A and B are shown apart, each in its own frame.
Chain A
Amino acid sequence: MATVFKKTSMLTDKPFHYCPGCTHGIIHRLTAEVLEELGIGETAIGVAPVGCAVFAYDYFNCDMMEAAHGRAPAVATGIKRVHPDKAVFTYQGDGDLASIGAAEIVHAATRGEKITVIFVNNAIYGMTGGQMAPTTLPGQVTTTSPYGRDTNHCGFPVHVSEMLATLNGPAYIERVSVHDVAHVKKAKAAIKKAFQLQMEGKGFTLIEVISSCPTNWGKTPKEALEWVKSDMIPNYPLGVYKDITAGGDQ
């Protein structure tokens, strides 16, 4: 009998702890599959964040380090400088990367640190119970913006991919989504390209993945995916923001 699907060896057998309908699981799988397919997984070193993916070290089947909140790019820098020939990646959420870790991500990017960052943007703090994130949409209700995010009071969402694409250090930056099969396929291709460019020593690579958080958005999994399409993507347009192999910024 032909095998049509096999779980990647780059994920452990530990069941994910994520909520039903959360797309972290998909993003984990895509990352792990890419590591395996490129043959760099066994010797990869990953850095887990603080946030919903805090236990990522239990799932990715390679050497892993757990970083303090926001510091994953600095930790990855230390690792990569010691092992320049290994695939080094961080897996970070929006609070971790775009709020408390804003300095670390900007400087890892501008240094052209040869790492791959999987940036999961779901516009909310999940693990701590649905507080406003740096990427929370204007008007979006969270537990710390109960009247909806008032931009006059607490400003506007951070557009990480756009912002980092203005720097010279990054080799590849793309924003993708995983709300349907077609987009999942595109997301995997983006992640693959990022790791390839890292291994070629081209520079800093970051894939921003728009993700859902049904639990904290107060939606069913299906409604959440709809909301990604109707509200998230218009605010966070998908596409390649930087690609040094394309002969110019997009």
Chain B
Amino acid sequence: MKKLMKGNEAIAEAAIQAGCRFFFGYPITPQNQIPEYMSKRMPEVGGCFLQSESEVAAINMVYGAGGAGARVMTSSSSPGISLKQEGISYIVGAEVPCVIVNMVRGGPGLGSIQPAQSDYYQSTRGGGHGDYRMCVLAPSSVQEAVDLTQEAFDIADRYRNPVMVLGDGLIGQMMEPVDMDLCKDRKPAEDLTEKTWAATGHVPTEEAPRAIINSLYIQPDVLEKHCQKLQAKYDAIEAAECRWQEEETEDAEIVIVAYGTTSRICRSAMRKLRQEGIRVGMIRPITLWPFPEAAIRSTLKTARQYLCVEMSMGQMIDDVRLAVNGERPVDFYGRTGGMVPTVTEIVDKVKAMYDNDDLHKAEKAFNDTVGAVGNAFNKLGQKIEKAVNNPELEQKAENFRKQASDVANRAASGLAKGMDAMASTLGKAFSSIFGGAQPEEPKSTETVDTPAENNEGGEQ
């Protein structure tokens, strides 16, 4: 049965249903409902909620509990996540699984408490020191926040690496219907094995030798090997865990790339734009790292332009540009500091991009020209009408008609020539206007990647 739940509370319950029994956190808006909910629920399920003295302590408690073999979570918001970076780096280095929720708010510094997406770099580029990656899941609805939180525990255990669930103030505070029955008592994924590596205080055996949970490798060659091993894990994560959703990209001339809250606003904008005949589609990264590069490249077939929309001054746009690799223009629209873009703003932005496109400029010029010629013919025609009414001028009228037809022919052939010229310069894109025939220019040699098979974007 569906239940109306706040994002923060739904995430907390989802974690418990996924077997999380330890939670360490420190108050910060806009994620306080997570620790509050945990403080009530953990004792009910025989788990442990502990309010730590700081975010620094919280992440280190997470490190301890995760290293001791438990499913453990912490949550915070941007300034608090900054404080956790040291711990996250250690956790990655020591290969301890855990889940970290970041309900992003405006920054830098103390910033604001309103929703933002300005922690994209921090979460996808490491944030802490050293050579590392962290899987980042970005839900765009409360139901998805539930699903991804549960998956986060599996991914974390699978690769012995922290996983971040990255929402924002809006995802955390919003209420939406959630089907909690579907996520009840979720068992760990079947491929997960026992944590024989954990520091459980056990008598060493062959399968589970004495545990040393550690990120210190004082010999450079040993540390390099360790980092190479971690990198192999990241490669595996990139190959297997990338998730995204595609919406109306099949024929999209303008492709929007947006995640989380922003993607919802873009979806509303898309509906309006489609009604006005603008072929716009969207790629919504669900994992911010690994980034769905192949999915974006697959839209190069139809896309003429890309628009990255974020609640930041432009961070994910770097990844979109890397994916597009200079083959198409990538534009940006963003609001930041806790401001949320409106549907109207995005509609206007896309329309401006559409109008600015050389193709549509030419199309407009063409339509204007045809219109002007039509008008001229019309005026001429009216004059002829008057003339033919005078029988004395019949001969003159005949000449007139001849002239008119000459003019028309000349105009038509001139127009055709002009069009040919334009067609050859504007290339294959013009084919749509001229009836689908491919222009006779050299075939493009670019290859277009197909999306990975594990595309979970079935909702489109």
Instruction: State how many angstroms separate the Cβ of B24 from the closest Cβ of chain A.
Output: 7
B44-63 vs A: 1/0 string, CB under 8 Å? 00001010111011101111
Instruction: Evaluate contact between A65 and B213: CB separation under 8 angstroms.
Output: yes
The segment out of A41-49, A134-142, A208-216 that lies at the interface is: A41-49
Known: A63-B210, A65-B67. 5 other contacts (CB 8 A): A47-B64, A64-B214, A75-B64, A81-B48, A81-B50
Is B72 located at the chain interface by the 8 A CB criterion?
yes
Q: A residues within 8 A CB of B214?
A: 48, 57, 64-66
Check A74/B201 contact, CB under 8 A, given A66-B216, A82-B68, A103-B53.
Answer: no
> Which of B86-94, B161-169, B267-275, B336-344 lines the interface with chain A?
B86-94
Max chain B CB contacts within 10 Å: which of A81, A83, A107?
A: A81
B199 interface residue per 8 A CB criterion: yes
Are the C-beta atoms of A74 and B61 separated by less than 8 Å? yes
Residue of A nearest to B67 (CB): A65
Which partner residue on chain B sits nearest A104 by CB separation?
B57
Q: A42 to B202: give the CA distance in the assembly, Å.
A: 7
The answer to whether the Cβ of B200 comes within 8 Å of any Cβ in the partner chain is yes
Task: Evaluate contact between B212 and A71: CB separation under 8 angstroms.
Answer: no
A61 to B57, CA, bound (A): 26
Q: Is B234 among interface residues, defined by CB-CB distance under 8 A?
A: no
A contact residues vs B (CB 8 Å cutoff): 42-45, 47-48, 54-55, 57-58, 61-68, 71, 74-83, 86-88, 103-104, 106-107, 111
Q: Assess whether B86 is in contact with A65, with CB atoms less than 8 Å apart.
A: no
Tell me, yes or no, whether B97 is within 8 Å of chain A by CB.
no
Set B54, B57, B61, B213: member contacting A64, Cβ < 8 A = B213
- Of B52, B213, B215, which contacts A107 at CB under 8 A? B52
Is the pair A83, B200 in contact by a Cβ cutoff of 8 Å?
yes
Chain B hits for A54, CB < 8 A: 216
**A44 and B57 contact, CB distance less than 8 A:** no
Q: What 9 A-B pairs are tightest by C-beta distance, nearest first?
A: A78-B64, A74-B60, A86-B201, A78-B65, A63-B199, A107-B53, A75-B64, A78-B61, A71-B60
B residues apposed to A, CB below 8 Å: 22, 24, 48, 50, 52-54, 56-58, 60-70, 72, 86-87, 90, 94, 199-203, 210-216
User: Is there contact, CB below 8 Å, between A71 and B199?
Assistant: no
CB distance from A121 to the nearest CB of B (A): 22
Cα distance A111–B68 in the bound complex, in angstroms: 20
A104 to B63, CA, bound (A): 14
CB-based contact A82/B65 at 8 Å: yes
Residues of A within 8 A of B87 (CB): 68, 71
B70 contact set on A, CB distance < 8 A: 82
Partner of A66, one of B22, B56, B62, B213: B213
Chain B residues whose CB sits within 8 angstroms of the CB of A48 once the complex forms: 214
A78 touches B60 (CB 8 A): yes
With the chains together, A77 CA to B61 CA distance in Å?
Answer: 6
**Cβ of A43 and Cβ of B203 under 8 Å apart?**
yes
Q: Are A63 and B52 in contact (CB under 8 A)?
A: no
In the bound complex, do residue B57 and residue A103 qualify as a contact, i.e. CB atoms below 8 Å apart?
Answer: yes
A81–B64 alpha-carbon span in the complex (Å): 9
User: Which B residues are in CB contact (< 8 Å) with A111?
Assistant: 50
A104 to B86, CA, bound (A): 15
Asked if residues B68 and A79 are in contact (CB atoms below 8 Å), the reply is yes
Instruction: Determine whether the beta carbon of A79 is less than 8 Å from that of B65.
Output: yes
Residue of A nearest to B72 (CB): A78
> What B residues does A47 contact at CB under 8 A?
64
A75 and B201 contacting across the interface, CB-CB below 8 Å: no
Interchain CB contact under 8 A, A57 and B212 = yes
Count, A-B residue pairs, CB within 8 A:
129
Contact A71 B56 (CB under 8 A): yes
Contacting residue for A78 out of B54, B63, B210, CB 8 A: B63
Chain B residues within an 8 Å CB radius of A88: 201
Given known A65-B64, A68-B86, contact A78–B213 (CB-CB < 8 A): no
Which B residues touch A104, using CB under 8 A? Answer: 53, 56-57, 60
Partner of A44, one of B22, B58, B201: B201
Residue pairs across A and B with Cβ atoms less than 8 A apart, 13 shown, are: A43-B201, A43-B202, A65-B63, A65-B67, A66-B94, A74-B61, A75-B63, A75-B67, A82-B48, A103-B54, A103-B57, A106-B53, A107-B57
Contact, CB under 8 Å: A79 / B212 = no
Closest to A106 in B: B53
Residues of B within 8 A of A76 (CB): 64
Task: Give CA–CA (A81, B70) in the complex, Å.
Answer: 10
With both chains docked as a complex, state the minimum distance between the C-beta of B219 and any C-beta of chain A, in angstroms. Answer: 12
Q: How far is the CA of A54 from the CA of B214 in the complex (A)?
A: 10
Report Cα–Cα, A67/B53, bound state, in Å.
Answer: 17
Residues of A within 8 A of B68 (CB): 45, 78-79, 82-83
* Cβ–Cβ < 8 Å partners of A61 in chain B: 210
A82 touches B22 (CB 8 A): yes
Contacts of B210 in A (CB 8 A): 61-64
A107, B58: Cα distance in complex, Å: 12
Is A64 a contact partner of B60 (Cβ separation < 8 A)?
Answer: no
Smallest Cβ-Cβ distance to B201: which chain A residue = A86
Once bound together, how far apart are the Cα atoms of A61 and B202, in whole Å? Answer: 11
Complex CA distance for A170 and B7, rounded to whole angstroms: 39
Q: CA of A80 to CA of B65 in the docked complex: distance in angstroms?
A: 8
CA distance A187 to B215 in the complex (A): 31
Q: Which chain A positions have C-beta within 8 A of B213? A: 63-66
Tell me, rounded to whole Å, the shortest Cβ–Cβ distance linking A249 to chain B: 23
Which of A58, A62, A68, A103 gathers most chain B CB within 10 Å?
Answer: A68
In this complex, what residue of A is CB-closest to B209? A63
Give A44's nearest chain B residue, CB to CB: B201
Q: Pick the residue among A66, A74, A82 that contacts B52 (CB under 8 A).
A: A74
Q: Is A79 within 8 A of B57, CB to CB? A: no
Smallest beta-carbon distance B40→chain A, Å: 17
- Expressed in whole angstroms, the Cα–Cα distance for A62 and B48 within the complex equals 25
Q: Roughly how many angstroms separate A48 CA and B65 CA in the complex, as a whole number?
A: 15
Judging by beta carbons under 8 Å apart, are A64 and B86 in contact?
no
A79 surroundings in chain B (CB, below 8 A): 64-65, 67-68, 199
Decide: A78 near B199, CB < 8 A? Known: A57-B212, A57-B214, A65-B214.
no
* Least CB distance, B201 to chain A, in whole angstroms: 4
Given A66-B94, A66-B213, A107-B57; A42-B203 close (CB under 8 Å): yes
CA distance A184 to B62 in the complex (A): 36
**A45 vs B48: C-alpha distance when bound (angstroms):** 19
- Given A54-B216, A82-B22, A107-B53, check contact A67 B60 (CB 8 Å): yes
